Structure formats: C-alpha cells, structure tokens
Structure 1
Amino acid sequence: MYLRTLLPALLLIPILSSSMAAAPEAGYLGVAVCGECHAKERDLWRDSFHDRAMKEPTAKTVLGDFKDVQFTAHGVTSRFFKRDGRFFVRTDGPDGTLKDYPIRYTFGWYPLQQYLIEFPGGRLQSLGIAWDSRPQDQGGQRWFHLYPNEKMDHRNPLHWTAPDQTWNYQCADCHSTDLKKGYDAERHVYDTRFAEINVACEACHGPGSRHVAWAQAAVAAKASGTAPTPPAASTDPTLGLLVDLKDRDGGQWQTDPATGKPARTVPRKSQTQNETCARCHSRRGRIWDELTPGEPLHQGFRLALLSPSLYFPDGQIKDEDYEYGSFIQSRMYHQGVVCSDCHEPHSLKLKAAGNAVCTRCHQAERYDDKTHHHHATGGTGTACVACHMPRRLYMVVDPRFDHSLRVPRPDLSETLGTPNACNACHQDKDAAWAAAAVAGWFPDPARRGPHFGEALHAADTNAADAPARLLALAGDPGQPAIARASALERLHEHPSRDAMLTLPRLLKDPDPLVRAAAVRYLEVTDLRTRTEQAWPLLTDPARTVRLEATRVLAPLATQTMGAELASQLDSALQEYVAAESVNADRPEANLNLGLIALTAGEPEVAERAYREALALDPRFIPAHANLADLYRGQGREAEAQAQLRAGLAVDPESADLHHALGLSLVRAKRLDAALTDLKRAVELAPANTRYAYVYAIALDGAGQTAEALPVLAAAAERDAANTELLVALVQYHAKLGQREAATAWLDKLAAVAPGDPTVDQLRGSLKQP
C-alpha cells in the first residue's frame, strides 16, 4: 500500500532521499577565505590531525617508505615504490592476484598513516597495510598489517578490497568537509565530493558564506561611518555562523568552597559543542543525507549503545568506540564539561601538559598529590589519565584514552570481569590485590557502591534477576542515559512482566536515547499496545525516536484506518525509507528496507531489497536467511532451502543458516537430515540456547530423548533462568521415567519462575502414577 510507491523496481532510493532533504542554507568557502580574517586559528589548525585527515599524495604528505620496499603479511609480499613521480603499491587485489595500484590519497597521519586506492565506479578502498609513523625508537617507521591476527586473503570480508573497507561509506564522512557520498543505487557507482579534502573550519562551524556576508557588511558600515557596530550584531549574536559554539550563559568554572571540587556557576544547557564533535568522535551510524550544521546529534545519527561487542558491561571501551559514548557516561559531562574545556579546538592539543590540564579546574594541592594518587613522585601512576582515562590499543599501534573519566573499580573486575586501571600497570597482581589497595586508600564504601554495569552484566550472563535489574536501571534518571537505553535494549532478550508499568514513563523521558530504546522494546508487545504507546512518538522531535516508532508501527500499513492517520503513517514510512536510503550502498540498509516492506505487507518489495543486499555483498548472511524465510512464508520451501544452501556455500560456518536449514528440513519431514544441521548450529554457536532447545526438541521427535537431555542441561547451565529449557528438562526426564531428576529440575524452575502456573501443572503430572 505504501512502500510499493516508495521503492520502485530498481530501488532508486537516493532520489527519494534528496527530494525530501532541505537545501543547505549557505555555501562553503574554504579555509583560505576563513584564514584571511582568522589567521591565528588557521595557523593553529595547520598541520593538526584535522588538517592531515586526508591529503593528496606528495613527497611532503606521504610518510611511508616507497623506496622499492617489500613487506610480507598473510603470505602476500607487497611492494611499495614510485614511478614517474607517483606512489604505487603492488599487492593482492579483489581476486587475489598481484597488481600495481597507484596511491590516490593519504589518510591520517599519526601514529599511523593509511593509503586510499581508487577503483572503478568512484569507489576508494583503504589499503590493509599501513605505515607506522611513530619514531623508530618506539617501534615505528615500518609497514605493518592492520589485521595481523586474522586469516586474511581476498575472500575475507575485512580484506582491503571488500565493502567493509570502502572509504566512501566507512571513512569519508569524518575525514573531509561537507562530504556528499553521491551513491547511485541503480548503477552501483559513487560520485563522492567534498567542499574541502580535510577537516577544515566549516566542518565544525558550518558553511561560512553568511558569516562572510555579515563581516563584509560590518566593514562597509564602518567605512561609511553610518554604523559604529556591525549592523547584524543586535539581531544575530552568532555573527552569521550556522553553528553557534560560543558559551552565552556567562558561566564560569570555580571551586566549590564546600566540596573543594570544581563547579560551574551556571548550569550549561547547550550541548551544541559536544554534539558537533560527536558527529565524528563517536561510534554511530548516519541516518540522514542532508545534515543541518549544529542540529542535535539524534537528527542525523544513531549512537551505538553499550552492547557487549563494543563495551565492557561497566561502560569501558572495548571495540573502536571513539570518545563520545564514553564521555556521556562521565560525571564531568553531566556537570557541564565540553570538549574545549580540555582541548584547544583548532590545534586539538591539550590546553596544558600532563596533569596541568586537569588542575586547571581541580585543585593541584588536593589531587596532584601523593595523598590522592598514592604513587611515588615522578612515576607513571601519578598521571591523572593513568587512573581515570586508561588507554586501549586500536589499529595495532594507536592507544586511545577512555573518556568516561571513571574512578578505578578493581572490585568490579572481580565480579564483572572488566579491566581496571590498576592492573593495567600492575600486571603481576590480580584484581583482588588492586581492590584491597584501593579500599585501603579510600575506605568510604560509597566509592564502591552499586554500578550500572552490574545490571548489564546480569543480562549478559543470563542471571535469574536480570529482568528486574535491567528495568530498575532503565527507570533510574540518575544513571547515564546511554546505560539506561542499553538496559532497555537487553530487556528484549529478558522480558519483564513489570516493564509495561514503567515503559509509559520512559517513552516520555527527556533523553532521546532512552525514548528510542523504549519504543524498540514495544516490539515484544501486541499491535494494539504498540499503537497506543508508540503512535504519539511518530511526531517526536528526535528523528531517531520517530524512526523506531515507525518501525514498530509498520504492521499497521496492512490495516484499514482513516485518511488522516494513514497519511501520518505514510509520511513516517517515507522518512524511514529516506533514513535507510542514506546507506543504500550497504547490504544492512537494504535488509532493513526489506524487513519493513515485509512487515508492511509488501513481500515483492522485500524480495527486491534482499536481493539488492546480496548483489552488494553475496557474503551477507542475514540477507540469505531473510530471503529464505520470505520464501518459506510463501510456501516456496524448495527455494528457501536453495537460498540457505547458497548462503552456506559462501559461509559454511554460519550457525544461523545451519539452524534455518535444519528447520526447513524438519518441515519437509526429513528429520534425519535436519538433525545434522541443527546439531552443527549448536556446535558453531554454543552460547545460543535457542538453537540448543530446538535441536533437543528435534532429537526427541526422532525418538532420541535421552540424547536431548545433555544438550538441554548444557544450555541450562549457560542460561539458568530460561524457563523453556527447564520445562523441557522436566518433561523429558519424566518421559524417560527419571522422576527424581525431573523433580530436581522442577525445583529449579520454581525458583526462577515463582507463581508460574506451569510449575503446579508439572508437579501435578509428576505425582500421577
């Protein structure tokens, strides 16, 4: 009804996206124009990380050794050389054969420099071999592979020629100014352009033409003597700049005499500066094509939450998470600290060296003292960042600071398995030793109070009390919003009976991260509840929230409704399609378009979207699985099996595909063959207790009930609160006449599900002769 008109046969998504986007308010002029008046800022910026973010390759900008140097990694010997004044690398291409590739751009600067190579269709690929630009005495001045521990060849999805290494999608957004990706979904080509090759003035301040016009008017007015002040100053305090980064509340940092800690005289209300930096300094996904400079982050980007693959449960960085996701967990962020309180925004250097950057606000006599840090003077343990901003190594040689500015909690390392700053240095000691030392220095137990990481860890380890702990965290406004939203995200796998009592309040939470996660939780509810709770959020001021509301309400597209409501849902679906269209060059976006099309009752559109995802990346397993599931739903079981086997041909170790194929074979009444694939799924994904449960059910169906018991028991050991597993264990032991064992499992079920009528039913059946 709706999506068929939005997604024509060739999925010409960018046309829709650009037609909905607003035109930019002003033009980009470039650093040369800005520097005419702002020479000091320009000179600070020159040769900064932003300036060197991307460059044309020249003798000055290329740091790597291209003097006919060879480097061998993963069985491939690459050669770096110059020819006719140009820089080249001879290395393995997309088919594994060696070929000479000219370097098109340098990418980054320190502590490593990467190199971009141009392919047909406007695609730029980031070479997997990088130059270590650190000094030689620090291990630098060498070529190295960015994935030294991967089994790497041209078939690996992380190979430098693969879609995951395409600059146009993965990197370009943050290394150039006013980047336009320019992807043509019909022809699968890019026409990527930028206002400036690197991160220049207007990347942060927005396009400068209005500001220049304001300045020119001011100069003209002054020259004519008609106005002593700029004519627009009274009506435009931003002086024509689209992004207002200036503090306008008059607040200052002072020491609170009662606590001895820094406090701002006026609470900071604007997050424009932090969110301007966060556009690149965060783990996020872009959701809108034409961005308005200075608008809130949630209008153009979806911030990654504290998922187990990205963060440790206490919020410390694990994967390449950048700074913002950590910073918004910190007490400093919530007290009003912004990036430029510590960093000079043009040179990007710290505003002072070492601990002096911290003692600009924190009293040196109190904090930069042995009574606080408890380390010998001059040692590494005296550095504030050593304890409060521990580093983690990325891209082999790039140590980055955790910006959550946390108090070391080695006691949490004991219970949650998280890293801590103490043992990062004292590697010969254990966490218990570190926890005892910290407790001795700071005996106040409040310093080791409850932490949101305990609730997230409970969910990640399938603890019986996980639902209650997650719901308590989600509803606690005193906790960081990113942690609360992460708790709601985990509630999907640990539904709580009490969640719907708290959810209405969370759907109105001041923070869009929490509101968006609360809407997502509605996926576990019925359509009526979704409609009642989510419909008002179709007009939420935050785009991230509106998109989630649209997704959970998409099934209403198959329902009959009034013209006004239908129009509202139609507009929401258009926005959703436009948001996914931003990444139409990615299989994930096309998968999402297929999912919402199917939900909205458009299976033909969904099939085209899934096929587009596979055209972009035949190795994208979710598209194989969802296309097969679509076929199954249409009764095309043979085609579903063929699609699953096609996926297994490119990834024989996909547990998801083996599981799906096993289910398909069960439906085809080929139980013996099904058991092979269901068993393989359990072997490949032992942590997936659902796979274990299904395999056990199939074993029982094949008359192998005894063989099902150890499968269920192993799964129940990993997921002790899984009532589905416990019920099966009770029933199967009883079926085999093992009443004592059945009773023992029933007691465990009663402990994790008190009041569940299933317990009484099972107990009654066990008493029968």
Structure 2
Amino acid sequence: MPNDSPQPTRRGRQALIIGSLVGVLVLALWTWRSETSRPAAPVRPSQSYSQTLELARDGKPGAARLLYQQLARDDLADERRIALLAELPNYPSPQALKLLKAQLDHESLAVSLAAVESAVRLLPGHHLAVVLGPLLSADEPALRLNATLALTRLSPDELGLYFAALQHSAEAFQHDLAQQPPTVQNRMQLGRLYRQTGDNALALSALEDAVQLAPDNLLAALARIEQLDDNQQADQARQLMRQLLEKHPDSALLQHALGIWLRDHGQAEFALLSLARAAELAADNNDYRYDLAVMLHTLEQLEAAQKQLQQILQNQPANRRARVLLIQYARESGQLQNVQVLLAQLEQQNPDDPALQQGL
C-alpha cells in the first residue's frame, strides 16, 4: 500500500538544511562570545617571586629577565614590588627603564617612592632629571617632595630644562616645611632645599636646629659640617669633625665622611687612611669599600684597588657598579682574560646591560 504521508519537497529540504546550519552557527557564535568574555587568566612567570629575588640578589644567570617578569606583573603585593625595585639598579636596560617609569606612576604611594629611590641609583645625572623632572608637578605632595630632594644632588647642567622647575618646587617646600613643628627629618630636608636655592645661611640654621634636636644624630652633624664648608667656614667644620671623631672614634660613618672630606680638599694620602679605616670598621659596607678602591686607583695602587672590588663581588655578586669598575681596572692592567670572564658573567646576568652594548 502506498505511503500517503507527505514527502518534503526539494525547497523544503533546502530550508531545513539552511535552518540547521544557522542554528549551528548561532550556537558556535554564542560559545565563542562566552569564551572571549571571560577574563584571561593572568600569565604567571616561570619563577616565583622568592626565587627571583634570591637570584637577583645573588647575581645569577638570567636574573635580569626574571626580575623584569616579576615587576611586569599586575598582581604583585606592594611590599614585594618594593623589594624588587631595590634590586633593579643592578640590572639596567631599556626594559628596566620602562618598568621603572611604570612604578613611578603606580597607584601605591609607597611603590612610587621606592621607585624614586631606585631611579637615583639606576640613572646618571641628566637621565635622572628627565625621568624625575615630571614629578615636580605631581599631585601627591610626598612624591613631589621626594623627587625634589632627589634632584637637588644634580648640577644645573644635568638638570637642564628642569632647573627652574626644581627651584620653584624647592621654594614651595621651604615655606611648607618651615611652618611644620621642627623635627630632625624636616630640618635636614629644609637645609637641603635652602642649599639648592643658594640660601646658605638659612640652610646652616636649619641644620643647626636638627643637631640641637638630636645631638647624637651623626647624619645631622655631618650635614652641618658640609654646610659650614660650603659657607667658607672650613676651620669651624674641621673643628666639629675633630670633636665628633674624638667622641665616636670607631664610627665607620665618620671615618668615611672624613675620608671624603680629605679627598675633596686634595689630601688623597690622608683620605686613603680614613677610607681604609671605614672599610675595616664596616667590612660589609660595599659602598665604603668601593670608595676605597677608587682612592687606591687614584694613588696608582691598581692591584690593591682590584682586590677591594673583588671583595665586593664576593660579598655581593650582583653589584654591577663594582663589576663594571673592576672590568675597567683589569683592562688598564692588561688582564684581558679576566676582562673576558667578568664580561661573560655580566652578560649572563643581564644580556641587555648598556656596558655590553657600548663595548666596555
């Protein structure tokens, strides 16, 4: 018996097929949009924060790359970011500069302030002015003050176009700090700002206030001595330094300051004695040892200078400043094999180091 149920026509079959295809496409589109609307999972660096920090501090191969990876994260706790910023000056590169600028604009004030400190150690004079200069007009007063104080260490030539802006910022903060109840910190800051604008008498007065507030604060006492020297009161400065040393004969800080003072006054041989004493009293202070190495080199004691720099690298393998200077001294003395070893180690730490790019 023939089947009397209606059979789909050719046009009906086409409509059915098209409808099915449309349904599949709609389902696929909905699935795709659902997937793409989900937030992408953050990319995690291959090494953890703690591992990276350890590698950076120890100057291990690949330290720069891992350090940059961690600083590029957007889920890093502020205290961890601050710790990494402290290591960044040993790993300069265009990428390091880019990351540093991002931290200066960080939503956390503590991170931005740490980035200012990192910039001071990372960048030479003119470059520091270019990076920190825009912060002289920052909305946050603490950030503006820190940038102002950081830039006071630069010469007018290094400041370039930011010289006038720095003077204006210094004058504004002079007024603000002078109105605050005196503390050692704000009087010392006030002294630096007055010195920047050439108000040397006011600078000395502010620093004398700081010393009166804390007679045993050696940093305040040394700042006053430095200002006296700038004010052409060298005899009084020398007398105060002598009194401090009599009271604190085993202070590495004072011995180092005396060495720098003697060096700046053309007494290199006596400066060497004080710098050596400072390095002896504070054997782990690599900055003191570095200054001792430079003084030894000035007095043409090249081998002794190299030994001091080698000791720094033994204490702190990541210390780029000491490594670069040791490469220079080794080259001067014709130790080409040692130069190659030091350069290879530097390249392993940070292949984008400017010293390598410049053919140090």
Query: Where on the TM-score scale, by shorter chain, does this alignment land: which range?
Result: 0.5 to 0.7
Computed over aligned residues only, the root mean square deviation of the Cα atoms, in angstroms, reads 3.9
Q: Confirm or deny that 1:599 pairs with 2:196.
A: yes
- Normalized per residue, the structure richer in helix is 2
Give the structure, 1 or 2, with the largest relative contact order (CA under 8 Å, sep 6 or more). 2
Q: Please give the TM-score of this superposition, normalised by the length of structure 2.
A: 0.67
Distance 2:336 2:51 in 1: 37
Q: Alignment partner for residue 665 of structure 1, among 253, 262, 280?
A: 262
User: What letter is aligned with 1:660?
Assistant: A
1:321-336 equivalences in 2 (<5 Å): none
Cα shift readout 1:568-601 (whole Å, capped 9, x = no counterpart): 87555544555xx34x2x4333223222332344
**Displacement after TM superposition at 1:661 (Å):** 1.3
Which residue among 531, 551, 555 is the counterpart of 2:133? 531
Which runs of 5 or more residues in structure 1 are unaligned? Answer: 1-445, 764-769
Equivalent position amino acid for 1:548 in 2: N
Question: 1:681, CA displacement in angstroms?
Answer: 1.2
Q: Where does residue 108 of structure 2 map in the other structure?
A: 511
| Cα distance in structure 2, aligned partners of 1:694 and 1:464 | 27
In structure 2, relative to structure 1, the CA distance for the partners of 1:751 and 1:600 (3 Å cut) is: farther
User: 1:492: Cα distance to partner?
Assistant: 5.6
> What is the DSSP-based 3-state SS (H/G/I as helix, E as strand, rest coil) of the residue aligned with 1:615?
helix
- Cα displacement (A) at 1:466: 5.7
CA contact (8 A) 1:464 1:720 kept: no
Report the CA distance between 1:478 and its aligned residue: 0.7
Residue 281 of structure 2 corresponds to residue 684 of structure 1: yes
Query: Are 2:100 and 1:479 equivalent residues in the alignment?
Result: no
CA offsets 1:36-61 (integer angstroms, 9 cap, x no match): xxxxxxxxxxxxxxxxxxxxxxxxxx
Contact 2:91 2:353 in 1 (8 A): no
More strand by share: 1
Aligned counterpart for 2:341 among listed residues 744, 750, 758: 744
Residue of structure 2 equivalent to 1:707 = 304
State the partner residue of 1:693. 290
Check the 8 A contact 1:470/1:487 in 2, yes or no: yes
Query: Aligned pair in 2 of structure 1 residues 471, 460: CA closer, same or farther (>3 Å)?
Result: same
> Aligned partners of 1:559, 1:460: CA distance in 2, in Å?
35
Deviations 1:392-446 (A, max 9, x none): xxxxxxxxxxxxxxxxxxxxxxxxxxxxxxxxxxxxxxxxxxxxxxxxxxxxxx9
Does structure 2 conserve the Cα–Cα contact (< 8 Å) formed by 1:462 and 1:721? yes
Give the distance between the partners of 2:178 and 2:69, measured in 1 at CA: 34
Distance 1:761 1:560 in 2: 33
Distance 1:472 1:605 in 2: 47
Distance in 2 between residues matched to 1:616 and 1:464, nearest whole Å: 48
Q: 1:624 is matched with which residue?
A: 221
Q: Deviations over 1:711-752 (max 9, x none)?
A: 221112123233442344344445555444444334434544
In structure 2, the CA distance between the partners of 1:608 and 1:507, relative to structure 1 (3 Å rule), is same
Query: C-alpha distance in 2, partners of 1:705/1:742?
Result: 15
2:32 is matched with none
Superposition deviation, residue 453 in structure 1: 3.7
CA distance in 1, matches of 2:112, 2:348: 33
Aligned-residue offset at 1:756: 5.6
Match of 2:146 among 535, 548, 552: 548
Query: Which residues of 2 match residues 175-324 of structure 1 at below 5 A?
Result: none
Equivalent position amino acid for 1:656 in 2: L
- CA drift of 1:481 comes to 2.2
Give, in whole Å, the separation in 2 of the partners of 1:698 and 1:553: 26
CA contact (8 A) 2:64 2:91 kept: yes
- Residue 185 of structure 2: aligned partner: 588
> Are the aligned partners of 2:258 and 2:274 in contact in 1 as well (CA < 8 Å)?
yes
For these two proteins, the number of residue pairs brought into alignment is: 304
Residue 757 (structure 1) shift = 6.9
What is the distance in 2 between the residues matched to 1:759 and 1:591? 39
CA separation of 1:594/1:458 partners in 2, compared to 1, >3 Å: closer, same or farther? farther
Partner of 1:163: none
- C-alpha distance in structure 2 between counterparts of 1:645 and 1:590, whole Å: 24
Counterpart in the other structure of 1:615? 212
Q: Deviations over 1:533-553 (max 9, x none)?
A: x1442x23xx54454355456
Looking at structure 2, the residues matched to 708 and 553 of structure 1 have their Cα atoms a distance apart, in angstroms, of 31
Q: CA deviation at 1:628?
A: 3.2
Residues 483, 599 of structure 1: alpha-carbon distance in 2 compared, 3 angstrom cutoff:
farther
Contact 1:550 1:576 (8 Å CA) reproduced: no
Structure 1 stretch displaced more, 752-761 or 477-486: 752-761
Matches within 5 A, 1:369-518: 450-458=47-55, 460-461=57-58, 469-491=66-88, 497-518=94-115
What is the identity, as a one-letter code, of the residue corresponding to 2:225? A
Distance change in 2, residues 1:627/1:755 (3 Å): same
**In structure 1, how many angstroms separate the alpha carbons of the residues matched to 2:302 and 2:94?**
32
Q: Which residue of 2 aligns with 1:653?
A: 250
- Determine if contact 1:726/1:748 at 8 Å carries over to the other structure: no
Deviation at 1:496, TM superposition (A): 5.3
How many Å separate the matches in 2 of 1:690 and 1:668?
A: 20
Deviation at 1:615, TM superposition (A): 1.7
Q: Report if the CA contact (8 A) 1:746-1:759 is conserved.
A: yes
